Amino acid sequence: MLQILPGIAALSGFAIYQIGQDISSLIRHRRPRRYAIVAIIAALLLICPFYLEAGDITLKPSQMPQQLQIYQVMQDFYNTYNAVPENCLVFSSTPDIWFEVNRSAAQEGYLFSRNNATITGELRKYKCFVFDYGYWCTVPPQHNGICQAVINSFKTKVLATNATPDGNNVTYYALLNYTP
């Protein structure tokens, strides 16, 4: 809905300016009947668009059809992220959600970056590693790509798991044999 806000704001500005000009003109010419008509029209023009769009603009994320699955996955994340020890580095498709809860995280592609001395130097600062087999691992192309490669390449232990609305599982795996 953000894409409609600049247009609404610009049109509202023009409308308010024009209404002010009209009211000023009517007051100067002392036409009370015409003033009342313009005031009613102005009120309708200002209030109706916002009233008609209010339902779309004020939707809760849980009511947005395009967000339903991700909303549920995020709720599950907030309910279970504490299953991951605080001192672990989490490899995830979405490290930013881990940053929001004050956890160290990295893009899952760094799991296979042993040829980069800078990255491996940073990874060696951690003694505990977790793979977030999250929502993006349940959908193509990552499902059969890097996510499956991680599961096939390392010995894992399930720390927490949740079912997504479409029947897939989102799981946090401790990586037991990973060394950077």
Query: Do both 142 and 96 map to the same domain?
Result: yes
Query: Do both 131 and 105 map to the same domain?
Result: yes
Residue 96 CB burial class (10 angstroms; 0-12, 13-18, ≥19): exposed
Domain boundary among 58, 76, 100: 58
Query: Do both 156 and 81 map to the same domain?
Result: yes
What's the CA gap between 37 and 171, in Å, rounded? Answer: 63
Query: Do both 54 and 73 map to the same domain?
Result: no
Q: Give the pTM.
A: 0.64
Query: Do both 33 and 94 map to the same domain?
Result: no
pLDDT tens digit at each of 180 positions of the chain: 566 677 777 877 887 787 777 777 767 776 667 667 777 777 777 777 777 777 766 667 666 665 666 777 788 889 899 999 999 999 999 999 999 999 999 998 888 877 788 888 888 899 999 999 988 888 777 767 888 888 899 999 999 998 877 788 889 999 998 888
CB 57 within 8 A of CB 16: no
Query: Do both 54 and 69 map to the same domain?
Result: no
Query: Do both 42 and 100 map to the same domain?
Result: no
Domain that holds residue 152: 65-175
